[in-house]
Chain A
């Protein structure tokens, strides 16, 4: 079992709709959870992080964490064509700053 799992997609969402991206992780001791966006040919950039159970909102983005289910998700409201990218889920373990990344979900927003 991979440590961090994501559906590779592609996930196609109409413009203006809600895009929902999901991630599961295997280490129950994981402390911090991150979503990175990566445009084709570019480097990953951080868009959200969450440490506590529940929801965290930042503009059109909402991160959701459920530690009991070992599940973290990212919702993108009012999806725009500029949101088309690969979204990487990353998880931090105990006692260090290393991250374990999922393989990413490719999201396409259809105008």
Chain B
């Protein structure tokens, strides 16, 4: 029973490099989310997808793009990584307002 699976778990990038964070859920949920978590800042919503084929900006979307590939998968792309994007990234999916989180990706941008 995997729930929400994120890859990779850890990543180190140099400034200007690009990468894609992957997220997949096996709970047949319509809604999926990407958050970042920084010390003292709580969880902040980057992008969310209410259903397959739709995406919307959250609180902190600048510097990120997303793709809802199908109902299961929701990816987050950093086109040109910046040190300010050093953070822990969580993917979540939800059913009837209850969100379930993946294990997170710890990203460092040097």
Query: Which A residues fall within an 8 A CB radius of B?
Result: 8, 31-32, 34, 42-46, 49, 88, 90, 92, 96-104
Contacts and interface: CB of A to CB of B under 8 A. Distances in A.
A104 B98 contact: no
Nearest to B90: A43
Interface of B: 31, 33, 40-45, 48, 50, 58, 90, 94, 96-104
A67 to B, nearest CB: 16
Contacts of B41: 103
Contacts, number: 49
Given A43-B104, A98-B48, A103-B41, 14 more contacts: A34-B99, A42-B103, A43-B90, A44-B43, A46-B98, A46-B100, A88-B42, A96-B50, A97-B50, A97-B94, A97-B96, A99-B45, A99-B97, A101-B43
24 contacts: A34-B97, A42-B103, A42-B104, A43-B101, A43-B103, A44-B43, A44-B101, A46-B99, A46-B100, A49-B98, A88-B43, A90-B99, A97-B31, A97-B94, A98-B45, A98-B48, A99-B45, A99-B99, A100-B45, A101-B42, A101-B43, A101-B44, A103-B41, A104-B42
Contacts of A31: 97
